[in-house]
Structure 1
Amino acid sequence: MTRPNVLILSGHDPSGGAGLQADIEAVAAQGAHSASVITALTRQDTRNVHGVVPVAEDFFAACIDTLLEDMRFAAIKTGVLASVGQVRIVAELAARLPDVPLVVDPVLVAAGGGQLAGDPVGRALRDHLFARATVITPNADEARRLCDHTRDIDRCGAMLTDTGGHALITGGDEGEGEVVNRLYGPGGRIESYAWPRLAGRFHGSGCTLAASLAARLAIGDSLIEAVANAQSYTWRTLEHGFAAGSGQSIPDRWLERGT
């Protein structure tokens, strides 16, 4: 018995709500296997990020090379990349594996406001990695930061896909009555998806969405199918979210296997 491998490159969240643990759980729920390389150690809880220590770039690159010598991957997913050097290493990885879908979750700021990656990392993502990504999954705030604080989401979508690839800009952090996620390609907006807005705030929703999307691509979904299935799965995990601490709720990623 085999199952597709997904290479996860993201940070460690000690609370288990976001980051590496969220990615592993979401990928497993789709029926795929995660191999993971940590990008950063963080000091965080369910309320906020309080500190970040990047993994040394040479060790980060060596860990990836070791896995590639042993395993084949059907998709790659990135979470927080903690330095410009790490971004360049992932861009080189994508160039080596051009046929492997790459999902980039450009994590810049935690839901509680804590900084995970600075402006130089955001610029490096935009300049070196987005063109190699199958799809990027910023929330609306991250999209605006990446687009020089352009307010218009459609314009951001066009800017983020002008070198190819797709962008799924999520609207959970917006003030709309519904959560509206928008998928863009090089030709403009492809689709909008409206979801009922749930009460409260969630820790790890973006990780859950991006990781499940990567897993859906790994098991053979088309991009449009993967985007739709990952959103449906993520919304269900949020609907059944639970309180692990005194801060934001955590998605129930073990609720069910993805459809």
Structure 2
Amino acid sequence: MTHPNILILSGHDPSGGAGMQADIEAVAANSGHAASVITALTRQDTRNAYAVQPVDDDFFAACIDTLLDDMSFAAIKTGVLASVGQVEIVARLVDRLAEDLADVPLVVDPVLVAAGGGELAGDPVGRALRARLFARARVITPNADEARRLCDGEPDIDRCGAALVETGCHALITGGDEDGGQGDDDVINRLYAPDGSIQTYRWPRLTGRFHGSGCTLAASLAARLATRQPLPEAVAGAQAYTWRTLQSGFRAGTGQSIPDRWPGRDPERDT
């Protein structure tokens, strides 16, 4: 494959800032090809998410099976999974690929709440993610609020990180929504490993809030793992790419800024 296929399982955001559109753009910008199955329709804009309509579990599973009959995949990335049934379907998918001796890294972005605060998936889905998918994932990418929610409200991020990697996955916990404190206004992301090690990354904090930053990070990470980049290299590269997309972000509506998933492009390139 000239461009590795990445199977994207995430929701549709009508504003184009997050969800499936963000995933497809980020994968393409990182030299991958995104094949996509929608998990949920949402009523959403750049300010918040207001309603979610999950895709029927049986139809969701059938869509995945149809793609598997035709294509092979070098990585899988999940965004919002809108039901416990969808979580179980993805768990069975990963097991099925493993039985075929296919080394397909799974990146789980445990999206539970939109950036504006609207709920996209409830606590039962969060518990199912932790029980069924985290052990099957190469890396999970919660933000700090999601990590705390997945750990029953534990306030200490290091304790959350240690708990989340007990199943054997790595956890990249991002701090973009955390308040800078004690004169330190950098964004601090931390990669927790099952062996207890912690890698810290610092990024200059940018002005404003962004819609789709987590999707961009997780999808670009999946694309890099699909090319068989080692995990530390893929994690560092995906963060650098995402920071550039935020630095060149733009306002498409009256709410949060949207990452420019093609940072540094020449606007006259195709004219």
* TM-score in terms of structure 1 length: 0.98
**Residue identity matched to 1:10:** S
Report the secondary structure of 1:3's partner residue: coil
Map of 1:212 onto structure 2: 220
Matched, 1:15 2:44: no
SS at match of 1:171: coil
Residue 271 of structure 2 is aligned to residue 255 of structure 1: no
Amino acid at match of 1:9: L
* Residue 202 in structure 1 maps to residue 210 in structure 2: yes
Partner deviation per Cα, 1:36-63 (whole Å, 9 max, x = no partner): 0000000000000011000000000000
The whole-number CA distance in structure 2 between the counterparts of 1:45 and 1:134 is 31
Per-residue deviation at 1:190?
2.8
Q: Take 2:225 and 2:199, find their aligned partners in 1: how far apart are those partners? A: 18
**Is the aligned partner of 1:49 residue 2:35?**
no
Among candidates 126, 139, 147, match of residue 135 of structure 1: 139
Is the aligned partner of 1:183 residue 2:196?
no
Match of 2:86 in 1: 86
Q: In the alignment, is the contact (CA less than 8 A) between 1:154 and 1:189 conserved in 2?
A: no
Partner of 1:171: 175
- Provide the C-alpha distance between the structure 1 equivalents of 2:242 and 2:197, rounded to a whole number of angstroms: 22
Do 1:48 and 1:110's aligned partners in 2 also have CA atoms closer than 8 Å?
A: yes
**Amino acid in the other structure paired with 1:114:** G
For 1:40, give the aligned amino acid: A
Corresponding residue for residue 113 of structure 1: 117
Alpha-carbon deviation of 1:256? 4.8
User: Pairwise mapping of residues 24-43 of structure 1 onto structure 2 (< 5 A)?
Assistant: 24-43=24-43
For structure 1, the 5+ residue unaligned runs are none
User: SS state of the match for residue 6, structure 1?
Assistant: strand
Matched, 1:162 2:166: yes
After superposition, what is the alpha-carbon deviation per residue over 1:203-238, rounded to whole angstroms, capped at 9, x for unaligned?
000000000000000112111111000000000000
TM-score (norm 2): 0.93
Question: What's the counterpart of residue 151 of structure 2?
Answer: 147
CA distance in 2, matches of 1:40, 1:226: 28
Tell whether the 8 Å contact from 1:32 to 1:215 is kept in structure 2 after alignment. yes
Match of 1:59 in 2: 59
Q: Secondary structure at the match of 1:97?
A: helix
Amino acid at match of 2:194: P
Query: What is the SS of the residue equivalent to 2:60?
Result: helix
Q: Separation in 1 of the partners of 2:49 and 2:36?
A: 21
Percent identity (aligned):
78
Picking from 213, 234, 237, the partner of 2:242 is 234
Deviation at 1:165, TM superposition (A): 1.1
Aligned residue for 1:73, secondary structure, equals: coil
Number of aligned pairs?
257
Q: Distance in 2 between matches of 1:9 and 1:218?
A: 15
Is contact 1:157–1:189 with CA below 8 Å preserved after alignment?
A: no
